[in-house]
Amino acid sequence: MSVKAVWPQGNMALLTQLEADSISHTSKGELYDLYRNCSLAVLNSGNLTDNSQELLENYQNFEIDVVRNERGLKIELINPPSTSLVDGEIIASLQRHLYSVLRDIVQISIYQDGMHQLIDNAAAHGQEVNRQELITNGIFHILRNAGVLHSNAEPNIAVCWGGHSISKEEYDYAYKVGVELGLRKVDICTGCGPGIMEAPMKGSLMGHVLQDAKECRRIGLTEPSIIAAEPPNSMVSELVILPDIEKRLEAFVRLGHVLIVFPGGPGTAEELLYILGIKLCTENRYNPMPLILTGNHKSEPYFEALDNFLKHTFGSEISRFYSIVIDDPARVAVLVKEGLENCHEHRTLIHDSYCFNWSLCIPQELQTPFEVNHASMAALDLHQDQEPWKLAANLRRAFSGIVTGNVKEHGIKLVQEHGPFVLDGDPDIIANMDQLLRDFIKQGRILLSKRKYKPCYVFAQDQKPQAEKDPD
């Protein structure tokens, strides 16, 4: 048995007894499994995987414990992955990420308890609670506690979304975009996993080095079930774990100033539908939120498929909300700089914070956690007779469920035990989803591993996995 110890620094060097007990292996705290799994993912930073079940099975003998002693707090790692060690010591960046996990898992508990207390207190006094404001304020508290909100900094964060299952050419292109952004001293925020989430961070770091810039921020936002499936890439300098996927998505759009979408799969489609759902709300029509879709020439079919899906589902006018740039990293960087300038001007005009977009209206349907199971997936409203932003919100949930069934431990188990999720809706919408997902499968954009993909979904019109149908 191998035991290694690290000592948290700063405000995480001390925990209350209740906080320490909640994540302690010795006391069997209620948050221990969550804390262990997220810590294991961090210690596997840089290792390529997209299957949380496989990761957990490979390290069944790994344990972590929190020990309170006379000097504060000590973290004991029992049988940590060998790749996390150099000369018997945990790599420094991984130690920093371990502190982030400790901070955010404790914060998640505080956030949830505080939310319930506020709601209960209001109900006891017969008062209405604005849940949207509560959620947004909770996200602000988590980001502020993590130290990623810089009040004295002008808008400068480009959020980069995209997939982990990409080609080398697509990775290289995203890297080049990152270099162009770094040369303009633009900071990067991604989902912190492999592939597209790593490439622009690495490129931006190089661009900053070429400009002799003192700091290059590389922020990774994740959530417990995602980090277990996709360990942080080695480029992440600031790691934040949000309570769930919806709060992670809201953190992206409130923290970031410009959004860039690279090639990806169902998870990227989920992110794109999330931001389009926000843009489709009339309350946000004057809130600048530049959205750029970009990739190299070989990824052009991906964007054609995505563009066709959106236009056939929402109408051709949906394209006014985004720009598509093919094989032109410098052009992307120029558009990002223009977007940052517009954001700066708008926030100054309305006196909104540069570091957190308070003025953005996010409907509760896009904030409320979607519990993925067979009943909730079958009940999704995938019909045209609703406001466009609501349709986007429901489609976002559908793709979220597909991601869950593909890579998240509890989703994989649900599909193994009860079969694929069933989706139903208007024939045109279902046909559009079918075509997009089949394009993703043909292009190999579903899984990072090379194993044959067995769809975790079927459509009610055809109780047969779509990948098994003849594509013609």
pLDDT of 372-405, one tens digit each? 999 999 999 999 999 999 999 999 999 999 999 9
pLDDT of residue 37: 87
Find where tokens 């959020």 sit. 159
Does 114 score more than 90 pLDDT? no
Burial per residue of 359-375, b for 16 or more beta-carbon CB atoms within 10 angstroms, e otherwise: bbebbebbbeebebbbe
Q: Is 121 domain-assigned?
A: no
Residues 255, 256, 262, 263: what is their CA dihedral angle, to the nearest 10 degrees? 20
Instruction: Tell me: do 160 and 66 sit in the same domain.
Output: no
Task: Report residue 202's pLDDT band, with 50, 70 and 90 as the boundaries.
Answer: very high
* Residue finishing a domain among 63, 93, 111: 111
Instruction: Tell me: do 83 and 153 sit in the same domain.
Output: no
Non-local (6+) Cβ contacts of 72 within 8 A are 7, 8, 13, 14
Instruction: Tell me: do 103 and 158 sit in the same domain.
Output: no
Does 205 score more than 80 pLDDT? yes
Task: Report residue 123's pLDDT band, with 50, 70 and 90 as the boundaries.
Answer: low
Q: Is 130 domain-assigned?
A: no
The percent helix, strand, coil of the chain (3-state, each to 5) is 55, 15, 35
82-88 contact pairs (CB < 8 A, 24+)? 83/43, 83/44, 83/46, 83/47, 84/43, 84/44, 84/45, 85/4, 88/4
Q: Is 427 domain-assigned?
A: yes
Does 428 score more than 50 pLDDT? yes
Instruction: Tell me: do 331 and 205 sit in the same domain.
Output: yes
List the CATH number of the domain containing 23. Answer: 3.30.1850.10
* Residue finishing a domain among 111, 132, 160: 111
Q: Is 440 domain-assigned?
A: yes
Q: Is 120 domain-assigned?
A: no
DSSP 46: T
pLDDT of residue 54: 65
Q: Percentage of residues in the chain with pLDDT exceeding 70?
A: 88
Q: Is 116 domain-assigned?
A: no
CA angle 349, 159, 237 (to 5 degrees): 115
Q: Is 138 domain-assigned?
A: no
Instruction: Tell me: do 89 and 233 sit in the same domain.
Output: no
The 10s digit of each residue's pLDDT in 72-83 is 788 889 999 888
pLDDT of residue 16: 76
Does 269 score more than 70 pLDDT? yes
Q: Is 295 domain-assigned?
A: yes
To 10 degrees, what angle do helices 300-314 and 266-279 make?
A: 40
pLDDT of residue 414: 95
Q: Percentage of residues in the chain with pLDDT exceeding 90?
A: 61
List the CATH number of the domain containing 472. Answer: 3.40.50.450
What integer is the mean pLDDT of 253-278? Answer: 96
Bridge partners for 459 per DSSP: 423, 462
Instruction: Tell me: do 68 and 162 sit in the same domain.
Output: no
Instruction: Tell me: do 69 and 215 sit in the same domain.
Output: no
The 10s digit of each residue's pLDDT in 335-359 is 999 999 999 999 999 999 999 999 9
Does 257 score more than 50 pLDDT? yes
Of 121-135, 334-348, 409-423, which has the strongest mean pLDDT?
334-348
The residue that leads in pLDDT, 39 or 28, is 39
Does 296 score more than 80 pLDDT? yes
Quote the domain boundaries for residue 277.
147-472
Instruction: Tell me: do 94 and 152 sit in the same domain.
Output: no
Of 38-42, 135-139, 175-179, which has the strongest mean pLDDT?
175-179
Instruction: Tell me: do 262 and 388 sit in the same domain.
Output: yes
Averaged confidence pLDDT in the chain: 88
Instruction: Tell me: do 220 and 172 sit in the same domain.
Output: yes
Instruction: Tell me: do 104 and 153 sit in the same domain.
Output: no
* Residue finishing a domain among 64, 94, 111: 111
Instruction: Tell me: do 154 and 99 sit in the same domain.
Output: no
The residue that leads in pLDDT, 420 or 113, is 420
Does 470 score more than 70 pLDDT? no
pLDDT of residue 53: 62
Give all strands (DSSP E) within 399-467, no chain letters: 421-423, 457-459
Of 19-23, 48-52, 169-173, 450-454, which has the strongest mean pLDDT?
169-173
pLDDT of residue 132: 85
Does 319 score more than 60 pLDDT? yes
Our count of domains for the chain comes to 2
pLDDT of residue 197: 93
